[in-house]
Amino acid sequence: MQAPILDLDFIDNRTPDQAAASCDTKVSAETNTGHQRKLYIESYGCQMNFSDSEIVTSILFEAGFDTTAEVTQADLVLLNTCSIREKAEQTVRHRLTQLQHLKRKKPHMVVGVLGCMAERLKKNLLEEEKMVDLVVGPDAYRDLPALINEVDGGHKAVNVLLSREETYADINPVRLNSNGVSAFVSIMRGCDNMCSFCVVPFTRGRERSRDAHSVVREAQELVNQGYKEVTLLGQNVDSYKWQSEDGAEKVNFAQLLERVALISPDLRVRFSTSHPKDITDEVLYTMKKYDNICKYIHLPAQSGNSRILELMNRTYDRTWYMERVDAIRRILGVDCGISTDMIAGFCSETEEEHQDTLSLIDFVQYDYAYMFFYSERPGTLAARKLQDDVPLEVKKRRLQEIIDKQREYSHLRNQLAVGQVHKVLVEGFSKRSEEMLSGRNDQNKVVIFPKMHFKKGDYVNVLINECSVGTLFGEPVL
């Protein structure tokens, strides 16, 4: 695994596949069914954006588009964007500038922005900077064919209306950049948690849960196609609640998790993301009950100090968070993987409050973490009501202290695996050698081992014999 990336917005010690899931992605395979127009799509940000791109591709395939892996061959270029960090928006703006040069050579090419940045900056992108032809928010993807027709007619087109009902439950996603082993399944959209630092409630709208039967049906179809792992996605999966129109059937997240696990014992089930205020013992006992539900939880803390958590509007305090971690360890055991998000230098954070974050890391001993320093996002509650008053150099120093401590625990947690046999789902070749295979264990950690006769999609028992901060290395147990 690579060392943390030192930039002004984000430092992490994720495994390579987790990093890839939140970085830029693009269509990696050509589809050629005879359609005249070609779509090229790039995704930025979170796993939800990547999942949305698969929905968009499905909608546009039905509207007469094939896909291309080469942007120069595209008739329609879409960037599915993220507004979580300033750097993400800067990256997209830079990419749009590059596309403007290409568009001068191909005037017929349509350039569009989708997702969170589209909703937030629609006026800037369309009218003031004139960087795009098309702006479409996360709840308006069904309208894409009609909007593209508007652009074809010589007009700019925009739809960023948010919905209280849209879940895209009836759309079968086109799997992009798929390894044929793992896939995302979105179970809900939007967010009702008004965390003061976050733009998601404003860009993705209110929370609504997808029909439980459609979730199970999609997971079953993936199994039928040979997939071995699904990740159930939502901004806050623990608050999933669905009921039938007549109210006779009600399904919470623990029950949905069980339904998906029961599809096949060979189907690994993961989920992301959990909110500390909502994760229940029922979910934890469901995880314990089924061997094919991975024993790994992403549980964002954001801060280890109760006052800062209150300013962040996280609706839990340090004691509540620690009790939830104790419950995870009590029910699922010390081997259950736990990861987190941490923000350094939030508004008015003191040195003592920063030390509380460091001590929380000591308490939990996370397997890995997504770590940031605070960057004010326009339109958030914090931007309107709080002063971003921690100096940049202090933020960066505190962040580095969080990084250094977390790296120690990442290494320690990996060392605990040495000498143990772990069941690994093979996802492909190691990046360094086609003589080595790469996969993940139950705790979501990358394991590298000799290829021998094994192939992608196999489950392999691997004896771990060494580790780095982010990767486990071992030998198959024959």
Same domain, 260 and 332: yes
C-beta separation of 424 from 451 below 8 A: no
- Express each pLDDT in 407-425 by its tens digit: 999 999 999 999 999 999 9
45-49, 103-107, 372-376, range with the lowest pLDDT? 45-49
Distance between CA atoms of residues 240 and 53, nearest Å: 22
Looking at residue 29, its pLDDT comes to: 58
Asked if residue 191 belongs to a known ligand binding site, the reply is yes
* Residue 280: closest CA among 230, 320, 235, 339: 320
Is the pLDDT confidence value at 7 over 50?
Answer: no
Asked if residue 23 belongs to a known ligand binding site, the reply is no
Please report which confidence band the pLDDT of residue 88 belongs to, taking 50, 70 and 90 as the band edges: confident
Establish whether the linkage from the previous residue to 68 is cis, with ω within 30° of 0: no
38 compared with 48, residue with greater pLDDT: 38
Distance between CA atoms of residues 67 and 32, nearest Å: 7
Asked if residue 336 belongs to a known ligand binding site, the reply is no
Percent of the chain with pLDDT over 70: 93
pLDDT, averaged across the chain: 90
Q: What is the DSSP letter of 314?
A: -
Same domain, 409 and 444: no
Looking at residue 2, its pLDDT comes to: 29
Same domain, 18 and 37: yes
Same domain, 397 and 427: no
Is the pLDDT confidence value at 160 over 50?
Answer: yes
Q: Is residue 243 part of a domain?
A: yes
Is the pLDDT confidence value at 5 over 50?
Answer: no
Same domain, 77 and 140: yes
Same domain, 122 and 251: no
Q: Which of 55-69, 168-182, 305-319 has the highest mean pLDDT?
A: 305-319
Same domain, 221 and 333: yes
Same domain, 89 and 215: no
36 compared with 314, residue with greater pLDDT: 314
Is the pLDDT confidence value at 203 over 90?
Answer: no
Any idea of the CA torsion for 325, 327, 330, 336, to the nearest 10 degrees? -50
C-beta separation of 390 from 345 below 8 A: yes
Percent of the chain with pLDDT over 90: 75
Same domain, 441 and 379: no
Q: What is the DSSP letter of 264?
A: -
Q: Is residue 167 part of a domain?
A: no
Domain containing residue 283:
182-414
Q: What is the mean pLDDT of residues 444-449?
A: 97
In the chain, the number of structural domains is 3
Asked if residue 347 belongs to a known ligand binding site, the reply is no
Q: What is the mean pLDDT of residues 453-473?
A: 97
Is the pLDDT confidence value at 32 over 90?
Answer: no
Can you give the CATH number for the domain in which 249 is found? Answer: 3.80.30.20
Same domain, 97 and 192: no
Q: What is the mean pLDDT of residues 306-335?
A: 98
Please report which confidence band the pLDDT of residue 9 belongs to, taking 50, 70 and 90 as the band edges: very low
Looking at residue 93, its pLDDT comes to: 86
Same domain, 14 and 110: yes
Is the pLDDT confidence value at 25 over 70?
Answer: no
16 compared with 79, residue with greater pLDDT: 79
Q: Is residue 368 part of a domain?
A: yes
Asked if residue 82 belongs to a known ligand binding site, the reply is yes
Q: Is residue 407 part of a domain?
A: yes
Can you give the CATH number for the domain in which 20 is found? Answer: 3.40.50.12160
Q: Is residue 172 part of a domain?
A: no
Q: Is residue 4 part of a domain?
A: no
Helix (H) or strand (E) holding 79: strand 76-81
- Express each pLDDT in 247-261 by its tens digit: 999 999 999 999 999
Count of residues in the chain: 478
Establish whether the linkage from the previous residue to 273 is cis, with ω within 30° of 0: yes
Looking at residue 28, its pLDDT comes to: 39
Looking at residue 177, its pLDDT comes to: 73
